[in-house]
C-alpha cells in the first residue's frame, strides 16, 4: 500500500527519501521491538497474581535467552563488518597473499555466519515471538498489538504521513495498526473464551 501511494502521489523527493527511511526503520526496529516486548512483559508480570508470577518467573529465562541471542546477533553485524573492513585496510599495505587470505577468512567468516544466523533464525523467532507464549498464552498477541503501534509512530516520526490526500494518508497510516490490533485482540478474546486464559491469571 505504501508503494502504491508513493507511486500515485509521491514526487522525486519522496522517492529519494524512501531508502533512507527504510534503512532507519531497519536499524531501530529490532531495538524498539526488544524494549517494547520487555516493557509489555514487565507490565504483565507486575499485574499478575502472586501465584502466576512465580510460574512466569521460572519460564522467563528461556524466552529472554532466545531474545538476547537474536538481538546480540543484530549487534554483532555492524561490529564484525567494521572489524573486517579495518582488517582489509591494514592488509592493503602490501603483505603476501597467503597471509592476506587467512586474515580475510578470519575477519569475514564470523560476519557471514551471523548474517546467515539472522536470515534463518528470523522466521522461527518472529513466528514463536521468542517463546513468549511459555510465559503467558496471551503475550505474543499483546506484544504484537503494542509493537505495531510503536512501529507506526516510528514511521510517522521519520517520514510523516504517506503522500496523497489527507483522508487517504490517515487511512493508510491507521489501517495496518488498527487491523493488526483487531486480530490480536480477537485472538486474546478466543483464548479467554475457549481456554480460560486471563491476562492476570
Instruction: Write down the pLDDT at residue 26.
Output: 67
pTM for this predicted structure: 0.69
- Cα–Cα distances (Å) from 5 to 9, 148, 171, in that order, read 6, 20, 11
Mean pLDDT estimate for the chain = 78
Phi, psi torsion values for 37, nearest 5 degrees = -65, -40
Q: Is 192 exposed, middle or buried (0-12, 13-18, 19+ CB in 10 A)?
A: middle
Q: Which three cell numbers stand for residue 65?
A: 535467552
Instruction: Write down the pLDDT at residue 184.
Output: 92
Would you say how long the chain is, in residues? 201
Closest to 40 in 3D by CA, of 192, 156, 188, 175: 188
Instruction: Write down the pLDDT at residue 162.
Output: 78
Phi, psi torsion values for 143, nearest 5 degrees = -65, -40
In whole angstroms, give the CA distance from residue 30 to residue 106: 27
Any alpha helices (H) in the chain, and if so which ranges? 2-9, 12-47, 50-91, 97-127, 139-159, 166-195
Instruction: Write down the pLDDT at residue 177.
Output: 93
Instruction: Write down the pLDDT at residue 48.
Output: 82
Segments of the chain with pLDDT less than 50: none
Q: Is 50 exposed, middle or buried (0-12, 13-18, 19+ CB in 10 A)?
A: exposed
Instruction: Write down the pLDDT at residue 181.
Output: 94
Contact 126, 33 (CB under 8 A): no
Instruction: Write down the pLDDT at residue 183.
Output: 95
CA dihedral angle for residue 193, residue 195, residue 199, residue 201, rounded to 10 degrees: 130
Amino acid at each position: 500500500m505504501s508503494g502504491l501511494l508513493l507511486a500515485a502521489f509521491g514526487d522525486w523527493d519522496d522517492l529519494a527519501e524512501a531508502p533512507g527511511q527504510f534503512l532507519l526503520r531497519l536499524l531501530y526496529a529490532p531495538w524498539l521491538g526488544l524494549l517494547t516486548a520487555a516493557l509489555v512483559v514487565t507490565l504483565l508480570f507486575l499485574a499478575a497474581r502472586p501465584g502466576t508470577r512465580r510460574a512466569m518467573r521460572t519460564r522467563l529465562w528461556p524466552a529472554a535467552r532466545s531474545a538476547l541471542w537474536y538481538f546480540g546477533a543484530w549487534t554483532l553485524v555492524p561490529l564484525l563488518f567494521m572489524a573486517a573492513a579495518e582488517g582489509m585496510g591494514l592488509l592493503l599495505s602490501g603483505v603476501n597473499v597467503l597471509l592476506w587470505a587467512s586474515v580475510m577468512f578470519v575477519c569475514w567468516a564470523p560476519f557471514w555466519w551471523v548474517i546467515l544466523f539472522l536470515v534463518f533464525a528470523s522466521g522461527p523467532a518472529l513466528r514463536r515471538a521468542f517463546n513468549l507464549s511459555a510465559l503467558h498464552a496471551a503475550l505474543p498477541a499483546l506484544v504484537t498489538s503494542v509493537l505495531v503501534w510503536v512501529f507506526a509512530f516510528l514511521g510517522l516520526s521519520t517520514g510523516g504521513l504517506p503522500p496523497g490526500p489527507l483522508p487517504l494518508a490517515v487511512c493508510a497510516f491507521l489501517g495496518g495498526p488498527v487491523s493488526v490490533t483487531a486480530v490480536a485482540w480477537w485472538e486474546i478474546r478466543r483464548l479467554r473464551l475457549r481456554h480460560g486464559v486471563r491476562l492476570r491469571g
